[in-house]
Amino acid sequence: MNISRPAMFLARLQIVFLLLWLFAVGPARACQICIPFPTESLADHLLKSSAVVLARENPDAPFTLQTTKVLGGDSSPPSLELFLDSQGRRILANDEEKSIICVYQPAQDPPAWRRVGLDHGALRPLVEEILRQRSHWENQPDARPRFFAPYLRHPDPQIATLAHLEVGRAPYSQIRDLAGAIPTTEIRKYLANIRYAEWHALYILFLAQSQDSEDKRRIVEAVESNAKFSLTLQTAAWATAFIETERSAGLDRLDELYFSNPQRTRQEMDAIHAACSVQGTNSPKGLQDRILESYRLALTHHADLAPRIVADLTKWKRADLADSIVSLLQTPSVAFTPEENLQLRAYVRGNTPDPAHHDPDHPSPRRSYLWLAVGLLLLPYLFRGIRSTPS
């Protein structure tokens, strides 16, 4: 295959510039990944569907469903193809007012119908209202948790579960404001009932808004007990509530119990860090400054927390701990994965007046000049053979 000389010149030129770029700019800045809440709610399924229908058993095809009413989306949705199990069949047969709510999700691979709830009068109006709120929530995401907060105490378990999921994954600043949706007397009962263990973390955060001295004492006792017995169940929630009620004094105690204690397990430290991260993101700068002091202590005794701490520092745009991260990177006994190492170095480069002094991977001006000289030396090679072109 014959390649024209101009084309070969361009190819060589691209190679040279690629080499210069790779050696001059250094590694790319690592991006931070936000992990979403792992559970989808009924509202999620409704809002990402192209059709929402009520369905009952098809009399002409037992154990299958047929659409009885379209609640939203496509007025002529695809044919409903869902199996009706024996239990569902009995429920529908015993009450003609009940229907199964189904959604069609075109983004699913392959596109398919899905059952999302059983309506017996209360769920259908809520589903219709959720569909009406779609555009409003897209423009004002904060309105969504507020909409569901009044349903936290709903007698229908489907609706109460939906509300707990929606409120539970709201930003902590909103959870603070929504704490009044459940009276404190009921929160205490829920926390004492193991049936509600799945939602205890949310109730603990609500409890932190109580002004009752007994509730504050309970939070302190829970933190002390978890630390004494090295427990991790709800430790993050109790620690978050502890910082909420005790502020700097609470962080002083967490320093004593956890951050200054190298014997704490990774699971314990992850929980305490989660509490500090939530509070640092949703509290005034004064408390965030105090949390950075705890983070500095943590880097001394729990270096494996460094990537998570740096993620917070990057999000908060705080350069305060760059010197501590540099020390960790220069400590041979502390090892990080390649990805973590890249993340830490990116933080240092972005928050140090003279990155080349601290980061061996950062290109110095001398190194850049060296590669510029190499590029100039390669220029004769690029132009070789194209001095003249036969006519």
How far CA 62 is from CA of 58, 65, 115, in Å, comes to 6, 8, 17
Q: Looking at residue 350, what is its pLDDT? A: 94
Kindly report which listed range (23-37, 174-188, 296-310, 368-382) carries the lowest average pLDDT score: 23-37
Q: Which residues contact 138 (CB under 8 A, 6 or more apart)?
A: none
Pick from 166, 156, 151, 146: nearest CA to 47: 166
Q: Helix, strand, coil proportions of the chain in percent (round to 5)?
A: 60, 10, 30
More confident residue, 348 or 358: 348
Q: How is 187-227 classified by DSSP, letter by letter?
A: HHHHHH-GGGGGGHHHHHHHHTT---HHHHHHHHHHHHHHH
Q: Taking residues 286-306, what's their average pLDDT? A: 98
Letter string b/e over residues 60-96, b meaning 16 or more CB atoms within 10 A of that residue's CB: eeeeebbbeeebbeeeebeebebebeeebeeebeeee
Question: Please, which residues bridge with residue 51 across strands?
Answer: 73, 104
Q: Looking at residue 31, what is its pLDDT? A: 21
- Assigned token pair, 131: 């569909």
- Assigned token pair, 178: 């929504």
d(CA 332, CA 344) in angstroms, rounded, equals 15
More confident residue, 23 or 261: 261
More confident residue, 16 or 274: 274
Q: Assign 78 to helix, strand or coil.
A: coil
Q: State yes or no: pLDDT of 1 exceeds 60.
A: no
Q: Looking at residue 353, what is its pLDDT? A: 75
Q: Angle of helix 235-246 relative to helix 200-207, nearest 10 degrees?
A: 10
Kindly report which listed range (107-111, 178-182, 377-381) carries the lowest average pLDDT score: 377-381
Dihedral, CA of residue 11, residue 13, residue 17 and residue 18, to nearest 10:
10
Count Cα atoms within 13 angstroms, Cβ side, for 223. 30
User: Could you check whether the bond before residue 284 is cis, i.e. omega within 30 degrees of 0?
Assistant: no
Which pLDDT tens digit goes with each residue over 45-66? 999 999 999 999 999 999 999 9
Q: Taking residues 310-324, what's their average pLDDT? A: 97
Q: Looking at residue 382, what is its pLDDT? A: 54
Q: Looking at residue 273, what is its pLDDT? A: 98
d(CA 133, CA 127) in angstroms, rounded, equals 10
Q: State yes or no: pLDDT of 390 exceeds 50.
A: no
Which pLDDT tens digit goes with each residue over 213-244? 999 999 999 999 999 999 999 999 999 999 99
Q: State yes or no: pLDDT of 386 exceeds 80.
A: no
Q: Which pLDDT band, with edges at 50, 70 and 90, does 39 fall under?
A: confident
Q: Looking at residue 155, what is its pLDDT? A: 96
Q: State yes or no: pLDDT of 19 exceeds 50.
A: no
What does the mean pLDDT of the chain come to?
86
More confident residue, 259 or 18: 259
Which pLDDT tens digit goes with each residue over 146-189? 999 999 999 999 999 999 999 999 999 999 999 999 999 999 99
Q: Taking residues 361-373, what's their average pLDDT? A: 51
Q: Taking residues 275-287, what's their average pLDDT? A: 96
